[in-house]
């Protein structure tokens, strides 16, 4: 099936992770969005067996598990990103 993909990326100030918003417009007119936080570092200790067990126990007991975050301390950078996201939604009809 024919598709067109667009994405906007906002990197963390330290460069260790990024917020990615992907938009896919399918040939039949359907639109899908995929929002992810992509982590490029492995220093959270989640890759060891002990780290994975600790995360599993948190999930089991309903606690949040934070794998990554995107920290932006420049308001103008964030405002520009929000404007780019708004442009991704321009063709949506209510």
| In the chain, domain spans | 3-88
pLDDT computed for residue 11 by the predictor? 86
> Taking a C-beta distance cutoff of 8 angstroms, is the pair 13, 72 a contact?
yes
Query: What are the strands, taking DSSP E only, across the chain?
Result: 3-11, 17-26, 31-39
Consecutive H or E run containing 77: helix 75-88
Q: What is the pLDDT averaged over residues 70-86? A: 87
Contact, 10 vs 71, CB < 8 A?
Answer: no
Angle at 81 (CA atoms; ends 37, 72), nearest 5 degrees:
60
State pTM to two decimals: 0.63
Taking 90 as the threshold, does the pLDDT of residue 80 lie above it?
yes
Q: Supply the mean pLDDT for the chain.
A: 81
């Amino acid at each position: 099936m024919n598709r067109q993909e667009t994405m906007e990326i906002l990197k963390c100030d330290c460069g260790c992770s990024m917020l990615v918003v992907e938009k896919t417009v399918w040939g039949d007119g359907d639109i899908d969005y995929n929002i992810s936080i992509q982590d490029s570092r492995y220093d959270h200790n989640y890759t060891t067996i002990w780290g994975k067990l600790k995360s599993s126990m948190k999930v089991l007991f309903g606690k949040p598990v934070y794998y990554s975050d995107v920290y932006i301390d420049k308001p103008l950078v964030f405002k520009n990103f929000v404007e780019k996201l708004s442009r991704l939604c321009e063709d949506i009809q209510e």
